[in-house]
Amino acid sequence: MNKILITGANGQIGTELTVALRERYGSNQVIGSDIKRPVANHDHTFQVLDVLNKTAIQALVQDEGITEIYHLAASLSAVAEKQPLRAWELNMQGLLNVLDTAKIDQLKVFWPSSIAVFGDHAPKAFCSQHTITQPRTVYGISKAAGENWCRYYYDNYGVDVRSIRYPGLISHTAQPGGGTTDYAVEIFHQAIKNRQYTCYLKPHTTLPMMYMADAVRATLELMEAPSLGLTVRTSYNVAAMSFSPGELEAAIRKHLPAFRADYRPDFRQTIADSWPTGINDHQARHDWSWMPRYDLPDMVNDMLVRLRQEKDLR
């Protein structure tokens, strides 16, 4: 029976992945962990865990009989640029601690990479699986190095580590924490509350994006795919939709005609400009039958319906 540990369980992906994994494998089989216990968390299986403490990870794995780790704890692109060396340590050493633990106990590992591995020299519009990765951000550098470490542990120690290069993720449940694509969540909250949003990217900045329901399903499908069919042990490109802030503003305005956005680009514009505008996910579709379900109109519709229900926002 699988016994799963999630690091960074309080984050944007972790919040929804924990629920999905519990539905799949049962509540007692999935332990959420994070650096702090959230104030209103009454989850009896939750563990406080610092991923920089390898001894603590190994003790938890032993005590709980863990067989799989979803290692999500990381600093995202915008916040990492403010403290590059701290972000490097968290993103790199945290991953190495998890991979080394997995090597000893032959655990299966999921680790998220990102479209941030690509830089100015990668194809812009339909960025291929195997291409130049020369990222500009410390977050991207840590993800590119991490992908290679994943393959190293697979090749040399047989660790069954699987990974996805997530695009910007949009969720009605959890707020993102310090990424360049966060605007695509903030805009919904502001549109409903104030009918106004000031965006930190220019209106024509197109980026690859995905609705969280698709991202969670992609993660589960990759982890359940037969190992033999997987040809990529660095990280898989996945795609669902690409849009700019201006296009998202227009899509929201179809539901909320009074909504307006204005644009005041900050340092995140340079990060966004270095990323691709679209992703070629042919390999994921071929190897484990990946297929997105949400496009821009479906995602906008679902976000608005659910945010209004959940937060009782009009």
Q: Point out the residue whose Cβ comes nearest to ligand AKB.
A: 179
Closest CA to 1 of 34, 32, 33, 24: 24
For residue 220, count CB atoms less than 10 angstroms from its CB and return exposed for 0-12, middle for 13-18, buried for 19 or more: middle
Tokens of 130: 């195997």
Number of residues lying near ligand AKB (CB under 6 A): 13
CA angle 18, 20, 179 (to 5 degrees): 60
Q: For ligand AKB, which residue of 6, 31, 76, 303 counts as binding (CB under 6 A)?
A: 76
Catalytic residue check, 211: no
Q: Considering the complex, what minimum distance in angstroms separates the CB of residue 168 from ligand AKB?
A: 5
Does 77 help bind ligand AKB (rule: CB under 6 A)? yes
The alpha carbon torsion through 66, 54, 152, 129 (nearest 10 deg) reads 80
272 Cβ contact list (under 8 Å, min separation 6): 180, 181, 201, 205, 207
From CA 81, how far away is CA 231, in angstroms rounded? 32
* Given the residues 139, 153, 183, 200, the one annotated as active site: 139
Smaller CB separation from ligand AKB, 101 or 171: 171
From residue 20 to residue 59, the character string flagging contacts with ligand AKB as x (rule: CB under 6 A) and all else as - is: ----------------------------------------
Does 277 help bind ligand AKB (rule: CB under 6 A)? no
Does 168 help bind ligand AKB (rule: CB under 6 A)? yes
Site stretch for ligand AKB (CB under 6 A), options 65-73, 117-125, 179-187, 290-298: 179-187
Q: In one letter, which amino acid is 190?
A: Q
Smaller CB separation from ligand AKB, 75 or 283: 75
From CA 43, how far away is CA 251, in angstroms rounded? 37
Name the DSSP class of 279: B
Does 91 help bind ligand AKB (rule: CB under 6 A)? no
Measuring CA to CA, how many Å separate 66 from each of 21, 106, 131?
Answer: 14, 10, 35
Smaller CB separation from ligand AKB, 69 or 116: 116
Q: For ligand AKB, which residue of 180, 219, 274, 277 counts as binding (CB under 6 A)?
A: 180
From CA 110, how far away is CA 20, in angstroms rounded? 15
Does 138 help bind ligand AKB (rule: CB under 6 A)? no
Smaller CB separation from ligand AKB, 47 or 219: 219
Binding site for ligand AKB (CB under 6 A): 76-77, 114-116, 139, 166-169, 179-181
What positions carry a catalytic annotation? 139
